[in-house]
Amino acid sequence: MYNCRAFEAKEEEIPIANVDTAWATVMNKRTFIRLFAAVIASPVISPLLARASNNKLQNWAGNLKYSTDRLYSANSLEQVRSYVKKQSKLKVLGTRHCFNNIADSTDNFLSLRSMVKVLALEPEAHTVTVDAGMTYGQLCPLLHNKGFALHNLASLPHISIAGAISTATHGSGEKNGNLATAVSALEIVTAVGEVVKLSRQQDGEAFRGAVVGLGSLGVITKITLDIQPTFLMRQYVYENLPLTEVKDNFDAIQSSRYSVSLFTDWQNQRISEVWIKSRVEEGQAFDATPEFFGAKRATKKLHPIAELSAENCTAQMGVPGPWYERLPHFRMGFTPSAGKELQTEYFVPRQHAVEAILAVERLRDQVSPHLMISEIRTIAADNLWLSPCYEQPCVTIHFTWVQDWPAVRKLLPLIEKELAPFKARPHWGKLFTMSPKELKSVYRRLPDFIQLSKKLDPQGKFRNDFLSTNVFSS
């Protein structure tokens, strides 16, 4: 279970981006959207978030103040090794984009943010090896300039590659695995400061257990990723897709192009926006018909929350551009999403997609007052032990909530109950209330993962409250 007690204890003290907590709690969705429409249109960091950075160390959304400010920034493998040897407990902090306490530590943080080099680009092996502090936003333009691309990206490029793969972060596309599936090798500094190398080719099960490692196996210092020749993409948005079309044609809709995302507020029996990202291949340009399963092609650029300015979003209206400027929904250099928010996401086996979507739609009256927007995506199956898509293709149902944890905490068990018959798995980096027992029943390889963790980190140096509760108590 997401560690609610720790969260509750902190909740009262958290200055949520300098906004009074009581005020934030009563703020409803409309007020929130009005206030933030102005704030997020500004480049790089909103003033609210900038002020928040002067406060205690906290996560990106500002909903979680970390339990220590002791942070050491390493510049080299040797510094990582010597720091790890000296500490009895620590966690690596990536770009702090998780919404729960998976990255938290009461003892020490290690940051690799200044380790951001491309170490090797090997066109013949179709791989790139990078320092683990690098973000996708840093890597992608460099790759593109050398003529290469990654297979997929999340909704934003701002996140660290190591943090993203550690939580099985994903994008969309029936044939696209999550971002961790691009990993072909890892270098990890273990609890005793030893350097371990694991590769897809040589280490079989240990590698498949380690890639989605929840930060519990050691410090990832280098990552090798699969690459492919660079490509251009176009993005179109369609508005008002009737829910009946989702019921009758979900497979056709989702498989229509390289990446398809459905955004909905669950109101009025319709999907408010369909984001379609297609590769510009010779002779296969997407025929952007005025209608798509009853939805109408947008006549202007849109944010997933239609009331917000689309300035932060990647180019739409079919303008071709490099893959890394179309696969994410949000542009580098701007605040992604809404900023002050909470997120939850469940992965449902692909064959139950429509039933699961309808089950959530039935909760619309409870969900809607607290929801900013939901997104529905599809992801290919993989073989990584703790990936929610382990041996099953999935549909994901995502919720961006107004930042009101007491209300969201009451809602999550209702959603989880509706999705339980489908054996839904929660996103490791977002908020959930499922119990450790439930997690164990849906993440079948947890016992193997615990064994692997115990080999690499027998004393639990990299364990925190989140891991002790959700992984090691099972």
Ligand X SMILES: Cc1cc2nc3c(=O)[nH]c(=O)nc-3n(C[C@H](O)[C@H](O)[C@H](O)COP(=O)(O)OP(=O)(O)OC[C@H]3O[C@@H](n4cnc5c(N)ncnc54)[C@H](O)[C@@H]3O)c2cc1C
Residues within the interface to ligand X (CB under 6 A): 60-61, 91-98, 102-103, 112, 132, 154-156, 159-160, 162-164, 166-167, 169-170, 214-215, 219-220, 336-337, 427, 429
Q: Which residue has the tokens 């039933």?
A: 355
Minimum distance of ligand X from residue 29's CB (angstroms)? 17
| CA 297/CA 230 separation, integer angstroms | 27
Minimum distance of ligand X from residue 25's CB (angstroms)? 20
* Strand pairing class (195-199; 394-401): unpaired
Instruction: Give whichever of 263 and 293 is closer to ligand X, judged by the CB atom.
Output: 263
Minimum distance of ligand X from residue 376's CB (angstroms)? 12
Minimum distance of ligand X from residue 70's CB (angstroms)? 15
Cβ pair 165, 212 in contact under 8 A: yes
Instruction: Give whichever of 160 and 314 is closer to ligand X, judged by the CB atom.
Output: 160
Instruction: Give whichever of 24 and 161 is closer to ligand X, judged by the CB atom.
Output: 161
Instruction: Give whichever of 57 and 356 is closer to ligand X, judged by the CB atom.
Output: 57
Instruction: Give whichever of 95 and 314 is closer to ligand X, judged by the CB atom.
Output: 95
CA distances from 131 to 46, 190, 224, 293 (A): 28, 16, 9, 44
Strand partners, 131: 222
Task: Give me 331's structure tokens.
Answer: 């542009």
Cβ pair 429, 102 in contact under 8 A: yes
Task: Give me 386's structure tokens.
Answer: 């703790």
Instruction: Give whichever of 342 and 357 is closer to ligand X, judged by the CB atom.
Output: 342
Contact partners, residue 327, CB within 8 Å, separation at least 6? 152, 153, 171, 233, 259, 277, 314
How buried is residue 145: exposed, middle or buried, by Cβ count under 10 Å (0-12/13-18/19+)? exposed
Which helix (H) or strand (E) segment holds residue 378: the answer is: strand 371-379
* Strand pairing class (270-279; 232-242): antiparallel
**In the complex, which residue's CB is closest to ligand X?**
163
- In order, the DSSP letters of 98-135 are -SSGGG--SS-EEE-TT---EEEEETTTTEEEEETT-B
Q: Which of 409, 432, 403, 430 is nearest to 17 (CA)?
A: 403
Instruction: Give whichever of 81 and 96 is closer to ligand X, judged by the CB atom.
Output: 96
| CA 397/CA 367 separation, integer angstroms | 13
| CA 386/CA 181 separation, integer angstroms | 12
What single letter denotes the amino acid at residue 362? R
Instruction: Give whichever of 155 and 278 is closer to ligand X, judged by the CB atom.
Output: 155
Instruction: Give whichever of 97 and 445 is closer to ligand X, judged by the CB atom.
Output: 97
Minimum distance of ligand X from residue 213's CB (angstroms)? 7
Q: Could you tell me how far CA 304 lies from the centroid of its own chain?
A: 16
Instruction: Give whichever of 68 and 249 is closer to ligand X, judged by the CB atom.
Output: 68
Task: Give me 253's structure tokens.
Answer: 């809709």
Minimum distance of ligand X from residue 352's CB (angstroms)? 19
Minimum distance of ligand X from residue 287's CB (angstroms)? 27
Minimum distance of ligand X from residue 291's CB (angstroms)? 27
Minimum distance of ligand X from residue 299's CB (angstroms)? 26
Q: Which residue has the tokens 């934030």?
A: 24
| CA 437/CA 435 separation, integer angstroms | 5
Cβ pair 449, 427 in contact under 8 A: no
**Residue ranges of the alpha helices (H) in 214-311?**
243-254
Instruction: Give whichever of 248 and 311 is closer to ligand X, judged by the CB atom.
Output: 311
**Residue ranges of the alpha helices (H) in 20-73?**
21-26, 29-40, 47-52
Rounded to a whole number, what is the distance in angstroms from the first to the last CA of the chain? 10
Instruction: Classify the C-alpha dihedral 186-455-6-91 as positive or negative.
Output: negative
Instruction: Give whichever of 98 and 356 is closer to ligand X, judged by the CB atom.
Output: 98
Minimum distance of ligand X from residue 430's CB (angstroms)? 6
Cβ pair 215, 166 in contact under 8 A: yes
Minimum distance of ligand X from residue 284's CB (angstroms)? 26
Minimum distance of ligand X from residue 109's CB (angstroms)? 9
